[in-house]
Amino acid sequence: MLNPCRFSLIAPLLALALPAVAAPDPGNWQDVLAEAEGQTVFWNAWGGDSRTNRYIDWVAEQMQAQHDVAVEHVKLDDTSSAVSRVLAEKQAGNDDEGSIDLIWINGENFAAMRDNDLLFGPFAESLPNFALTNAAENPEVVTDFTLPTEGFESPWGKAQITFYYDAAQVETPPQDMQALLDWARANPGQFSYPKIPDFTGSTFLKQALIELTDQDEALYQPVEESDFEEVTAPLWAYLDALHPHLWRSGRTFPDSGPNLRTLMSDGELSLAFSFYPTDAAVAVREYELPESVRSYVLDGGTLGNVHFVAIPYNSPHKAGAIVLANFLMSPEAQAQKQSLAMWGDRSVLDIEQLDTKDQALFEQGDRHPSELPADALSNTLPEPHPSWMTALQDAWLERYGVN
């Protein structure tokens, strides 16, 4: 399989000019709506969590009812496989009848697609609902792993590393990376992280590196501009010390964030983390985790980002994809997504700027005991340059690659 994070090496082979293809103009909204009617949008999105899947099912129902647009969720194990597919279609000269209309994407995969002209746009900032993000005051909705999105991605949700623990077993959870190592030594087998290249596991590596290195400014530039071995040496020393005290002594790793949650449910772990701040609260609400589970973030803050949707350049149903991207930013869809009864994913909208009726959609009553306090996510650490994620994954696999 092609490595999508190495596409820049073959970009010169793809330099041929694309043929002119009529595409909908997001600025002419009524025309876009009319063209979208009756289309089927093939939305490629990670399918590894039941909550995400049920939300996308709800979206599909609403899109059919409100816009006569069918939505097919193409469930991915790894977003890079969809990126590879679009690249292969471009290499084959398929510039008009691609197999993907919308893709849930960010980070290194967005960078790879932009580097190789695989995305349609700009479109995002022309969407009627984009103004509700108040991008001027919230620049994270137009920035992806330090890279400006330039209208080639539409913001969809917010994520941030959030730890959770069983308070019936853990009295004082660790508040930083060194404390986590000490805690793991004192509680062997009670913590782990997803195996690389899982996104949640890779995010844990970046969280640790930001805290451990004294050269964190290098992380916000392309990795080739720094001494990778020197910058990351503290991370590998830390993991060497941590792994023997992990679940199954670090000889194997959980497959994903949801798998971590399952291990907590089974009582094999007493401390875990998620990239969705309400993950534990939703799980407790749905009787997947005990009521004694509580959520928290590290004292120095935790890594967070915005996730996006984008339209491949050769999507044959661009109008439908544009209407779908706009619906995903509507107060109705954002409130439903943020609800603990559906997914619990944070909104990209500036809720305080919404009218009173739309603000009311986001009211969920009393905070769930397993949920974070309202102000807990105020210290969000920015994502490093996307090239660091690829380099860290490769180095981790070389050192620790298992099962």
What CATH number was assigned to the domain covering residues 4-157+306-367?
Answer: 3.40.190.10
**Which pTM value belongs to this model?**
0.89
CATH class of the domain defined by 160-304+381-400? alpha beta
Residue stretches of the chain with pLDDT short of 70: 1-21, 402-403
pLDDT of residue 375: 83
Domain assignments of the chain as residue spans, ordered by start? 4-157+306-367, 160-304+381-400
pLDDT of residue 386: 95
Residues near 383 by beta carbon (within 8 Å), at least 6 away in sequence? 107, 144, 145, 146, 206, 303, 304, 305
Closest CA to 298 of 175, 174, 173, 163: 175
**List of residues 6+ apart from 226 with CB closer than 8 A:** 215, 218
Give the pLDDT score at 402: 61
Q: In the 8-state DSSP scheme, what is residue 38?
A: T
344: left (phi over 0), alpha (psi -120 to 50) or beta: left
Name the maximum alpha-carbon separation found in the chain: 63
* pLDDT, tens only, 94-143: 999 999 999 999 999 999 999 999 999 999 999 999 999 999 999 999 99
What pLDDT sits at residue 35? 98
- Cβ(195)–Cβ(255) below 8 Å: yes
Rg (CA), the chain: 21
Q: Do 4-157+306-367 and 160-304+381-400 agree at the fold level?
A: yes
Residues 6+ apart with CB under 8 A from 262: none
